[in-house]
Copies of this chain bind each other. A is one copy, B any other.
Amino acid sequence: MSLTATTATTITADSEAFLRDFRSLSVIGETPGHGVDRQAATAADAQARTWFTSLAAQYGFRTETDQVGNVFALIEWTPGAPYVLVGSHLDSQPTAGKYDGAYGVAAALHAGRRLASTNREEAPKYNLAIVDWFNEEGCRFAPSMMGSSVYTGKLPAFQALAVQDKQGITVAEALDEIGHLGTGTGPEAAAYAEIHIEQGRSLEDSGTTIGLVHSCWAAAKYTATVHGEQAHTGSTVIADRKDALLGASMVVVLLREIADSFPDAVLHTSVGQLDVYPNSPVVVPSKVELVMDLRSADEEVLAAATAMLHQGISRVERQANVSIDVQQSHAWGVLPYQPAGVELARACAEKLQLSSAPVFTLAGHDSINMKDIVPTVMLFVPSADGISHNEREYTNDADACAGVDLLTEVVARLCRGELDGAE
């Protein structure tokens, strides 16, 4: 833990204000296990959005919602100038922790609050917008990072709005239902900053307070449909079976075997979602749909793993007497952030006497979309035991407050145009 790095600091009034607001956010959609359930465009998400807009108004920001439910809290110091965007997301996985996304929005809101007072006399080059990106998690509506994908022009708005959840409700209907289907495309961006818990152990293990995210692991995501044939589980002889669940299970095991075949944990693989049809105790499943996820910091490892996956799936098709359709749903190489942004964040940490280290992000973040259109800074604070997407997710108050301090300094410099032209 990096506790020793920051516990000496007196908790300031700014930090106390941050912690108070963050606590009031943490109880929205709270689960019995002390996590949160705020899936995109649900009632709990709507309540979190109201938390955001009402506090933003209190802190002097005007709020607007764009065509896909991204919420922006704006302050215009220099009429007509573009905006430094800073934020994260308030939506969560079904049984999530309190920090993922929410910490970043709360931190951004408080960085904005401090700068709104600081900058009142002197107009910086850029204006400031705090953002809550719609549906970063992608659990209710796929794909993930939906709001920032539309904002950055990677996903057409009409396509995002037509995505259905498992009940057949579209994004447009769900946003309209909670009163968050806005219009327009949001403010023009000049730069972007985001802070997040690490969701890994490297900062904690090295006793470092701030992670300076330099790149994102490469990833390849696939959906697979295993086609078998429905039959009676009791009476159908094994040789006649085309058991889609057997085939799917062999794919799940295969993916782990591929990860284990590389040394030094350089590859992460998983199947998080798997649906069986018709899913009855006495029926051999006719169809299984599953989602596969492969990630590595090394693009060659990922390419080798992908080749092993395709070969392995052909073998599973023969062994389980099924056919498997595989579709790539998402893929990216190792994605670097602008080195000038990493250096700017390092300099800010140094100024604030916070320990820092360059780190990879293994998970996706909205900043991955944003860095493709503007200079972007991505920051991490430690998360205890690297626990993530879990109700036990935890970052201590000292680290959380240090992150807000650093983000405030970073955003101040972005507003002054210090990353202009960074590539």
* A271, CB-defined interface residue at 8 Å: yes
Q: Which of B217, B250, B274, B390 contacts A276 (CB 8 A)?
A: B274
Q: Which of B217, B234, B246 contacts A256 (CB 8 A)?
A: B246
* A219, CB-defined interface residue at 8 Å: yes
User: Taking beta carbons and an 8 Å cutoff, which residues of A are in contact with B?
Assistant: 93-95, 137-139, 142, 144, 198-201, 217, 219, 221, 229-241, 243, 245-246, 248-250, 252-253, 256, 259-260, 265, 268-276, 278-286, 291, 293, 295, 361-364, 386-391
**Residue on B with the closest CB to A217?**
B234
Given contact pairs A93-B280, A219-B234, enumerate 15 new A-B contacts (beta carbons under 8 Å).
A94-B278, A200-B236, A231-B387, A231-B388, A236-B388, A238-B268, A245-B272, A248-B249, A249-B249, A250-B253, A272-B282, A273-B280, A274-B274, A274-B279, A282-B293
Q: Please determine whether A390 and B230 come into contact, CB atoms closer than 8 angstroms.
A: yes
Point out the residues of chain B lying under 8 angstroms from A285, CB to CB: 272
Q: Please determine whether B280 and A386 come into contact, CB atoms closer than 8 angstroms.
A: no
**Residue on B with the closest CB to A253?**
B249
Q: Please determine whether B245 and A274 come into contact, CB atoms closer than 8 angstroms.
A: yes
Q: How far is the CA of A235 from the CA of B199 in the complex (A)?
A: 6
Q: Which of B234, B238, B273 contacts A260 (CB 8 A)?
A: B238
Copies of the chain in the assembly: 2
Task: Pick the most buried of A245, A265, A269, A282: most chain B CB atoms within 10 A of its CB.
Answer: A282
A52 to chain B, nearest CB (A): 23
**Residue on B with the closest CB to A267?**
B238
Q: Please determine whether A386 and B137 come into contact, CB atoms closer than 8 angstroms.
A: no
Contact A245 to B252, CB < 8 A, known contacts A93-B278, A272-B279 = yes
Q: Please determine whether A253 and B246 come into contact, CB atoms closer than 8 angstroms.
A: yes
Q: How far is the CA of A221 from the CA of B95 in the complex (A)?
A: 31
Q: Which of B139, B231, B241, B388 contacts A280 (CB 8 A)?
A: B139
Q: Please determine whether A278 and B233 come into contact, CB atoms closer than 8 angstroms.
A: no
Q: How far is the CA of A104 from the CA of B387 in the complex (A)?
A: 56
Q: Which of B217, B272, B280 contacts A281 (CB 8 A)?
A: B272
Point out the residues of chain B lying under 8 angstroms from A241, CB to CB: 270
A245 to chain B, nearest CB (A): 6
Q: Please determine whether B279 and A232 come into contact, CB atoms closer than 8 angstroms.
A: no
Contact A268 to B388, CB < 8 A, known contacts A248-B249, A280-B93 = no
A99 to chain B, nearest CB (A): 12
Point out the residues of chain B lying under 8 angstroms from A252, CB to CB: 245-246, 249
A371 to chain B, nearest CB (A): 17
A139 to chain B, nearest CB (A): 4
Which 6 pairs, one residue from A and one from B, show the smallest C-beta to C-beta distance?
A249-B249, A249-B252, A232-B388, A235-B362, A139-B280, A233-B270
